[in-house]
Chain A
């Protein structure tokens, strides 16, 4: 049986169950006495007791009835429960677990109260029945210090701390606890900023709520002990969930962008180091190669020079001729034996290069090249000058 049925008319926790609502009134007591003495009063006057019944037997019956009545005062208090005993409605004692006896009804009465059972109330949602948690916006939505709205759902667990107080002091302890919880949680949430409530402040908020609920309930002497307050949920309201999720996504995006950049960096820098290494290695190779080549060439020259100095003329002649020979055997050579300057002279050079022989004298040429005697002379000059030991002007 739940406290929080929609439209919760303040139903008493123990109406509807076995009648523990304090001692019954006297009429009821008489009725139960009549039942106990059923044999005597059965069927009104003079039922069972016929003519032969005497005062003695009546006395016997009376004693029997008294014994039965006395025995009806025995009751068992289960583990984890307490019996609250009242005499004519006034509190006399709280009995512990085990077999107890009270002066039977209608003088004394016992109310058994479970002090170990974990009772709980839900604020902001209802778990009952359906699979999901049905939100109750009226209870769940509240304002924060920075004037935002948050959706908070609490489950408060409690047990009876003091059976006597619980039984006598507050009309509807569970409903009262719920009202107090609503008031307190709004107070605490209203004292904190939204971000704090939704993130790092959760546990702090919860413990503060728990403490304050306990304080208020104690001030009512309600006899309950708050065992735990569970924050089922603390979220931004449904209407703005999307924006909040996007903000969380944005945080991830930020990290992602940074990671991508790091990846880029990790890609680029080592490659640059590699390239740098190549550059320096190549330079070193170049240097070493150059020096080696120079050393080789220099050595070759020096050795040749030594011999040249012994026989300069012959050596020079030989070197010249050999070089020329090599050059002329390797290239297509055209000998032009023309003296004189001004007469135009035509060589179908392109044809000759195509055939790669210097013999074609074909008059047909696509791109005639003309060589003036001057130009031809330059070649020959060069050749000649070299022989005279002047600098060669490379072309």
Chain B
């Protein structure tokens, strides 16, 4: 009996205790209400007390949250469309404001943030050309957006940690024209390579031909010089020998020439028998 009593009492105590205590985790922010009215918001993580039935507690995520926007079209300075994706890293700053402005609903907060960031982005993108957006100005845009969005977000109890531009893409039709341009560019490069190749090849061939001509020409020249030398030398030798008796040379050489000239039996001589050779042909005197 006593034991049962003790047990029941203990059970009731535990229940009461559990109703008058609450914990706040590292990842949480909490608000304590007294009959619907906010009494305290600044809870450190750990164990805290409340009065059962009078106080109630709402908890919110204290971690860094993300607003990942839907892709949006913006006009750039050169009046071109770009499709932009941004994301915002934020956390609940002032819980009270957060609770009162967006009812502590993260989704609602994200919808608001999306709107704020889009408005801020629109002017930033409208000021710049695609080239700046894509390459040089990312950091500046990010910083400017943080600076512009933060004060507005404060009204919702939101601390902006970071705003980053994720994608900056061209619309489909512009993309395809970029592809066409890239193709044309590559085609140009390819042609350049091929014609450079042809050029170099032609040079090499021409050079080879030139070398050939020069080599052959020089060789011909040297050959002719040598032949000339031979001719001269031979002439000299002949002249020296034959000069001793020109008349006899003429006779001797003629004889050789006759022998050389009339060698074949197909040659035909038609003669009158009054040459020296036939001196004795008709009369032996």
Contact = CB atoms under 8 A, between A and B. Distances in A.
B245 A305 contact: yes
B219 A284 contact: no
B39 interface: no
Interface of B is mostly: helix
A258 B175 contact: no
Q: Pick the most buried of A142, A302, A380: most chain B CB atoms within 10 A of its CB.
A: A380
Contact of B186 (A246, A301, A308): A246
Given A45-B7, A290-B231, A337 B273 contact: yes
Contacts of A167: 26-27
A336 B2 contact: no
A393 B161 CA distance: 120
Contacts of A20: none
A332 B267 contact: yes
A337 B183 contact: no
Contact of B7 (A40, A261, A299): A40
A22 B27 contact: yes
B12 interface: no
Contacts of B8: 45
Given A176-B89, A254-B200, A239 B272 contact: no
B277 interface: yes
B201 interface: yes
A143 B170 contact: yes
Contact of B240 (A138, A236, A298, A353): A298
Contact of A330 (B189, B262, B271, B273): B262
Interface string A326-359: 1110111111111000000001010011001010
B166 interface: yes
Chain A CB count within 10 A is highest, among B194, B220, B222, B238, for: B194
Interface in A11-30: 22-23, 25-27, 30
Interface of A: 10, 22-23, 25-27, 30, 40-41, 45-46, 49, 53, 55, 58, 86-91, 138, 141-145, 147-149, 167-172, 175-176, 179-180, 182-183, 186-187, 190-191, 216, 219-220, 222, 236-237, 239-240, 242-244, 246-247, 249-251, 253-258, 260-262, 264-265, 268-269, 271-273, 275-277, 279-280, 282-284, 286-291, 293-295, 297-299, 301-302, 304-305, 308-309, 312, 316, 319-324, 326-328, 330-338, 347, 349, 352-353, 356, 358, 371, 376-377, 379-380, 383-384, 386-387, 389, 391-392, 394
